[in-house]
Structure 1
């Protein structure tokens, strides 16, 4: 015969399950964000962002502040709001705020990849690149800014719709367009990067240089090669994240993908935090340091080409 104590325990467990289920059904996430997961990512992003800020100041790479560091700040903002939601899952405001932060965060991070690759092409054979080094920054940074704007507008539309208990489909479609455009830009960038390294390997320049860079083709040090591998790895991380967010938004606001917390934790939070820490460890201030000091003075100022 079960005791009164055991009956009470079973009853409390059932009530707890029912309460949690009710919370999830009332939450705009379609689940209750797990508190310890939110704390973990909030801590991880805070540490990485603080290190990136210190590294940017230490190596005087000011462009790392509005790119990688700003990406970290947006992630901190987004995961802080998810932590808020873990305590009050029924509230719409933290859901809207985390949507804004986590959607936009990788965009400035990707801009840093474009800048790093542009620096590599400057010093190791700009004649092998379809675009001039400065064009990588101008073209892809402009595309990144446009994608950022589109995603921001979409997140605002979606947040307002949710707040007014209307369908957020329009905002979701706008965000989907922004993420898809960003994903397309990344694939184009990868294609151009692959072409650069192949042309350099087989000595098939895309354009003729007016002024040659020293004697023969400048060789890449192990540090630079390590930076290139890290850059490729980070890009793959962001591609996986972007594919996930594209599928998530295409599946709809009540779909299986957006309603599964583990997908978001692993495929968004996980891959972006890995990309952030990879650049902490293999930082351009360290691994591209020899690049800035290896060029003769005349090569630093004479980067002109004939098409």
Structure 2
């Protein structure tokens, strides 16, 4: 909507109201009054709400179809939180000086990707079960437990820091202590994601070159038993998803390190591209490379993997390497 300003009084004593030009100082003053340091662009906020709504709806349908109910507290929940966050930014685009929508979006957009990251950990654990746990430093079960626990810790720390920072902003106090707590949570999450990607890469390389870990109590299986097209495509999907999440995590770590009034946090395009777009791409990637489509529905997930079933067969000991 246009912004209007009063022009100098005319000779007949009337006041002429004219639109503010692009070079006027009033839009700059509005940017300065906004807690963002800018006014969120309305159409971009609407676009992201629509995109997150579409991918979240697809994830819900896919979860019901595949009966993989753990998808609801992971990508579906992540999408819902993102929608809330971008709704706050849309609200801010209409009322840029209000504090409530700003606080609403700053907390939700920080924590929203955390459940999505947990989904990646669960999916990789399932791939490890199917291709052979002897190629992984951690068993599939421990892989899921350890990294999902790290995800929960990061979520709690980010939420606590976000709440502290939001309270400080409301009370006109320094939000940096809360921001530092949020930074600690996002940095911890970045470290967990980085380690996850390193271990996942090592697992895939060991599988490709058939270099299993030698464990005394474990039967070493031949590597050719389960690498079907579904598993291959799921690995490709996880690779893209991991890169998108890593980019977003690096960005948010740098953003919070730069401070609440730094150039990075006050530059809208960085947030739109390196946060909003990265998580949208990650969400749609899991829609396209869906674990229910590529790895099977719940009954297949709950069945014993080929490696587990074969390891109980004494005749398979001849395949030890």
TM-score in terms of structure 2 length = 0.86
Match of 1:94 among 91, 101, 122: 101
How many Å apart are 1:51 and its aligned residue?
Answer: 0.8
Match of 1:196 among 187, 199, 203: 203
1:258-269 equivalences in 2 (<5 Å): 258-269=265-276
Correspondence for 1:67: 74
How many Å apart are 1:56 and its aligned residue?
Answer: 0.5
Q: Gaps spanning 5+ residues in structure 2: where?
A: 1-9, 314-321
- Secondary structure at 1:131 match in 2: coil
Q: Gaps spanning 5+ residues in structure 1: where?
A: none
Correspondence for 1:149: 156
Farther-moved stretch of structure 1 (288-297 vs 267-276): 288-297
Q: What value does the CA root-mean-square deviation take over the aligned residues?
A: 2.5
How many Å apart are 1:211 and its aligned residue?
Answer: 4.8
Deviations 1:215-246 (A, max 9, x none): 66314112211110110111110111111111
Cα distance in 2 for residues equivalent to 1:170 and 1:130: 37
Cα distance in 2 for residues equivalent to 1:298 and 1:247: 43
Distance 1:26 1:199, change over 3 A: same
How many Å apart are 1:17 and its aligned residue?
Answer: 4.0
Match of 1:111 among 109, 118, 124: 118
Indicate whether 1:121 and 2:131 are aligned.
no
| Contact kept? 2:219, 2:311, Cα under 8 Å | no
| Contact kept? 1:48, 1:280, Cα under 8 Å | yes
Match of 1:32 among 29, 39, 43: 39
Correspondence for 2:277: 270
- Secondary structure at 1:280 match in 2: helix
TM-score in terms of structure 1 length = 0.90
Distance 1:296 1:29, change over 3 A: closer
| Contact kept? 2:129, 2:307, Cα under 8 Å | no
| Contact kept? 1:128, 1:207, Cα under 8 Å | no
Correspondence for 2:253: 246
Cα distance in 2 for residues equivalent to 1:96 and 1:17: 29
Deviations 1:59-101 (A, max 9, x none): 0011111011100011001001110111111111111110111
Cα distance in 2 for residues equivalent to 1:51 and 1:79: 19
Distance 1:135 1:250, change over 3 A: same
1:1-307 equivalences in 2 (<5 Å): 12-14=19-21, 17-208=24-215, 210-211=218-219, 217-289=224-296, 292=301, 295=305, 299=309
Cα distance in 1 for residues equivalent to 2:308 and 2:20: 75
| Bigger fraction of residues in helix | 1
| Contact kept? 2:244, 2:282, Cα under 8 Å | yes
Deviations 1:267-304 (A, max 9, x none): 0000100100111111000011297579559718959x
- Secondary structure at 1:289 match in 2: coil
